[in-house]
Amino acid sequence: MTWCLTWPARRRRWPALAAGCLLLLCWWGPAQAVDLLANVVPGAKTELTVKTQILIIMTLLGLLPVMVMMMTSFTRFVIVLSLLRQALGLQQGLPNRIITGVALILTLLVMRPIGDQVWTDAFVPYDKDKIGLEEALKIAEKPVSRFMLAQTSKAALAQIAHLAGEDQVTVAAEHAFTVKLAAFVLSELKTAFQIGCMLFIPFLVIDLVVSSVLMAMGMMMLSPLVISLPFKLLLFVLVDGWTLTVNTLVTSIQAY
């Protein structure tokens, strides 16, 4: 009974205990950590030392949120949804968490085939000690690079390649991964603004009409946003705006 009552407190201590164990392991010494992992994964086929593998894996885990935002369609989705909220005038009615959650769910839907391929071709063989970490990363990079290149414009890729000094590369797949990633981010920003501009136009027309009517009626002190907001929400609901927006976002992803 006492253990059950103290369970929330124990649960809150787990992150601190995990961090403390990690610091203790680092202080204990890399040699002991290498021996420990060597016992856990005996005979692993790898060209890298265990210490290097630990460093790479910890670095990738730390960069995981940035990778999710920059290497997937999350950037496009969250920018378009933010612009849609601004066009509707729902800065307070549509919280950031809702927008981020919807963008994340749509990203998981779009990136599921790539995730399955990376899991099957890279992680499972590495987990079964059939390939090393370096080879697993190379295998995982291929489907991700193929997805990014399918969404990247040639102009953005040529610009980033010029800045990186890779003008002599003629095949897009042979560019460095950082070059493809930077070009992909630029293309995603451009595409997101284009879609957001298309979503802005009908709501901008409503704002202009409402403002003109209020000006003609002499209601200078009444904010047009107060009057136009119900009309914009009514229009958005009547045309089933969420379905159209999600369909536009998902179908904007090019086949890879």
Query: What is the DSSP code string of 1-15?
Result: -HHHHTHHHHHHHHH
- Whether the pLDDT of residue 78 is over 90: the answer is yes
Q: Read off the pTM.
A: 0.74
| Cβ–Cβ under 8 Å, residues 223 and 189 | no
Is the pLDDT higher at 27 or at 60?
60
Q: Please give the Cα distance from 55 to 73 (Å, whole number).
A: 27
What would the mean pLDDT of 20-46 be, rounded to a whole number?
39
How many distinct helices (H) and strands (E) make up the chain? 13, 0
- Whether the pLDDT of residue 89 is over 70: the answer is yes
Residue 129: band (very low, low, confident or very high) from pLDDT cuts 50, 70, 90: confident
Highest mean predicted confidence (pLDDT) among 39-48, 68-77, 163-172: 68-77
**Structure-block tokens of residue 179:** 């070059």
Highest mean predicted confidence (pLDDT) among 9-13, 42-46, 94-98, 220-224: 94-98
In the block, which residue shows the tokens 């705006």? 241
Q: Please give the Cα distance from 31 to 29 (Å, whole number).
A: 5
Q: What is the pLDDT of residue 48?
A: 61
- Whether the pLDDT of residue 46 is over 80: the answer is no
Please report, for the chain, the start and end positions of each structural domain, with discontinuous segments joined by +.
Answer: 50-65+73-251
- The proportion of the chain whose per-residue pLDDT surpasses 90, expressed as a percent, equals 38
Q: Please give the Cα distance from 132 to 43 (Å, whole number).
A: 11
